[in-house]
Amino acid sequence: MKQSHRRVIIADDVRRAKGQVVVPAGTIITPAARDLAHERAVTIVFGVVQHEEAPAVAGGMQGQLSACDLASRIDHTNLSPDATASDIASLCAEAQEYGFAAVCVSPIRVADAVAAIRDGAVAICAVVGFPSGAHLSAIKAAEAAVCVREGAREIDMVANLGWLKDGQWDRYAEDLRLVRNTIGGATLLKVIIEASALDEADIVRAGIMAAQSGANYIKTSTGVYGQARLEDVSLLRRALPPDIKIKAAGGIRTVGQARAFIAAGADRIGASAGVGMMWERCGKPH
């Protein structure tokens, strides 16, 4: 397995330290590790040059986006099992009216979304293995293939959380690679790791291995079994290569929340409350 392009120090590393931690230049120190080092008077020493923070783009310009501009970062979502064809048509109409990045729908509703969005201005995203991720890899791959064949340009795949908690990292990676190889490189792949159920070390490892297995995005959560947390987004942004993006989803319902997640490093926001966010600050479609 190819190693990460950078090293990450987490709280457990500080707990094991005696007096100081010596790390290579460019090492990422998680927020929890920094706090614990300060609490325990542990000195972090860098080998060559002073440590630099994660890329400023994670919390700089993105955090200054206007409320209306947030629309281009939102995946407008309806994954309700009782969503009707009419509900999906409304979802798509709203996405086009407000300029959302994508609509996110269940596999059974991809064809309905394709029929409603004909100009391609809004991407169609389908979930795979949703919501548990506890599906056979071959089933996930087959489901993803059907969604792409029907017109989905993006796939939000739920990782097998049980394998992550078991430490079955090879099976986790193979699960992702099978889906990636099946859908091809032109389709955007987002991997949902349910970060709130993992510790810092496993969040970092799950994110890095997903990137190495072909993911374009790491997504924090399904919103069913876990909610998005700012600290998880910040941790992932510090650990991941700059070209790997982050999607925060689960419980994000206001402009303030969305902007906070973007400032922490999220590139996309998954939300069913996108229209409410637009009316909260814009007052009307733009």
Determine the Cα–Cα distance for residues 21 and 187; give it in Å rounded to an integer.
42
Catalytic (active site) residue 219: yes
List the structure tokens of 136: 């056979």
Known catalytic residue at 247: yes
Q: Are strands 8-9 and 28-29 parallel, antiparallel or unpaired?
A: parallel
pLDDT for residue 46: 63
pTM of full prediction above 0.85: no
Could you say which residues of the chain have pLDDT below 50? 1-5, 48-63, 285-286
The predicted structure's pLDDT at residue 22 = 77
- Provide the pLDDT for residue 47: 57
Instruction: Check 13, 75, 140, 219 and give the catalytic one.
Output: 219
Rounded-to-integer distance, Cα 248 and Cα 270, Å: 6
Task: Report all structural domains of the chain as residue ranges with CATH numbers, in order of start.
Answer: 8-46 (no CATH), 57-281 (3.20.20.70)
Active-site entry in 112, 156, 175, 232: 156
Catalytic residue among 175, 232, 247, 267: 247
Q: Which two tokens stand for residue 105?
A: 């729908």
The strand pairing partners of 154, in sequence order, are 125, 188
Q: What is the pLDDT of residue 67?
A: 61
69 part of the active site: no
Asked if 233 and 141 count as a contact pair (C-beta separation under 8 A), the reply is no
